[in-house]
Amino acid sequence: MSIDLFDINSLLSEEEQIVRNNVSRFVDENVKPIIQECFESHSFPKQLIQPIAELGLLGSSIEGYGCAGMNSISYGLICQELERGDSGVRSFVSVQSSLVMYPIFTFGSEEQKEEWLPKLAKAEAIGCFGLTESQGGSDPANMKTHAKKDGDDWVINGSKMWITNGSIADLALIWANTEDGIRGFLVETSTSGFIANEIDNKFSLRASVTSELFLDNVRVPNKNMLPEVIGLKGPLSCLTQARYGISWGAIGAAEACLDELIEYTKTRVLFDRALDENQAIQIRLADMQRRMTNAGLLSHRLGQLKDEGKMNPTQVSLAKWNNVRMALDVARDCRDMLGGSGISAEYVPIRHMLNLESVITYEGTETIHQLAVGRALTGKSAF
């Protein structure tokens, strides 16, 4: 029985359906069989990186430079299917595509594009995005990392926190204060003075690499600075791209939870009847479907706007806020409806629930997105 009661799939073009089916098959065959063990062992499944690249999922929306050149809805579907497997796998692709390849393509020099985009698309290089700092969080303007010009070089000092892919990255896009404002720098992680320490003991995104970065007199040539952007609009525009994908990805997490719960309620017998014969169960399942349908239609419309060049950050804020909140609530409710089994890693809701506790925080907390929508409605900033 399909849980797509509004037949959103029929809105997809043939190419978009092929993309979705290919990624769905990849998740079923390669992600789902190993992800529980990866989560439990706090390890990122590096063996998935090359197959992901071979499917054309890295920088999928970029034209040229060895990238697939797919449309925005296809990228959304990629995120949705990957997060149906695990948020950590989708996060890896989001960072590589939206937070590293996108800014190089949009703000980089032709030399930077030709050097890095083909490598990143083939996973010959892994990237990370260094914006967040321990004292900054929702206030990226409170940035302490700085870069000073020294002849033809820049010398960067500072630290970054909660950086996905940080400890496995070959290239770090570091945002730093300069005399002229915030600029982006491409820093090869083998550069002297660059240190990445993985953050352990997480209860969320355990199948993802999260790191703290330290830059101690890291020297990079002037040609490594992104030339076409200055100020916070650079990193914030990257986050808009990533948040777009997250709005789709959260639907996949909710879908995984609801799929499993429906099967469970068919076979779990209490008081001489299957759970799915009870009104209370059906009402809760129906409410999950209502929220998931709303989220799916919201993201599809957002994808249309993006492909038409009409998407704006407030729309992305609303979609990220709505869809991740939906997914977290669905995961929590599925966990509850599984009873004692709900706390077992043998069932997916507890893993998705824990992951979504991070997803609702990163790329802008729920409150930040609420305030962004509030600002659009009132014309007044309450930040």
Please state which CATH class domain 233-378 belongs to.
mainly alpha
Percent of the chain with pLDDT over 90: 96
Render pLDDT for 18-35 as a digit per residue (tens, 0 to 9): 999 999 999 999 999 999
pLDDT one-digit tens code per residue, 99-130: 999 999 999 999 999 999 999 999 999 999 99
pLDDT band at 137 (very low <50, low <70, confident <90, very high): confident
CATH level 3 topology of 8-121:
Butyryl-Coa Dehydrogenase, subunit A; domain 1 (1.10.540)
Residue owning tokens 């996949």: 252
Q: Could you say which of 81, 115, 255, 363 is catalytic?
A: 363
Hey, how many other C-beta atoms are within 10 angstroms of the C-beta on 172?
27
Domains of the chain by residue range: 8-121, 127-224, 233-378
Q: Output phi, psi for 150, to 5 deg.
A: -140, 95
Q: Is 179 designated active site?
A: no
pLDDT at 1: 57
CATH number of 127-224: 2.40.110.10
Tell me whether strands 210-221 and 194-198 are parallel, antiparallel or unpaired. antiparallel
Does the pLDDT at position 135 exceed 90? no
Whether 128 and 163 have beta carbons less than 8 Å apart is answered as yes
**8 Å CB contact between 216 and 288:** no
Q: How far apart are the first and last CA of the chain?
A: 45
Contact between 69 and 62 under an 8 Å Cβ cutoff? The reply is yes
